[in-house]
Amino acid sequence: MRDDAGDLADEPGAFDRKVAEVLDAEAGMLDEKSERLLATGTVSIERPAGVLNASLRRPRWWRPGVFRQQAVREDGATSSGVVPLGRTMDATFLLREIALQLAVSVAWLDE
């Protein structure tokens, strides 16, 4: 979990519930953006609260992949992260991991 998990950290599990809400409410958008990221290597998500930019280096048999994200809220707060991706991830698992990482960032933007 990131240190900047947000203001909801005062209540145990609050940020996790926010991520779950984003996964449920934004499933279609997350799937679309995950597929686009997998296909093109970059994606942006614009929300009223800010912008999320993500990039992907797909894993290959000879090297791991990398998911990178940077989010900037309207109030000037920023968040960034790098998630290593195993070399043996299949496309279905990779899409799920991307969707989860995007949901975490969207939840951070929206809080």
pLDDT tens digits for 19-54? 999 999 999 999 999 999 999 999 999 999 999 999
Asked if residue 1 belongs to a domain, the reply is no
* Domains identified in the chain, total number: 1
Residue whose C-alpha is closest to residue 27's, from 106, 111, 108: 106
Q: How far apart are CA 108 and CA 111, in angstroms?
A: 6
Asked if residue 37 belongs to a domain, the reply is yes
Q: What is the pLDDT of residues 53-67, one digit of tens each?
A: 999 999 999 999 999
Asked if residue 33 belongs to a domain, the reply is yes
Cα distances from 96 to residues 32, 75, 90, 109, in angstroms, run 12, 30, 10, 20
pTM of the predicted protein model: 0.87
Asked if residue 56 belongs to a domain, the reply is yes
* DSSP bridge partners of 83: 67
What domain range is 39 assigned to?
A: 7-110
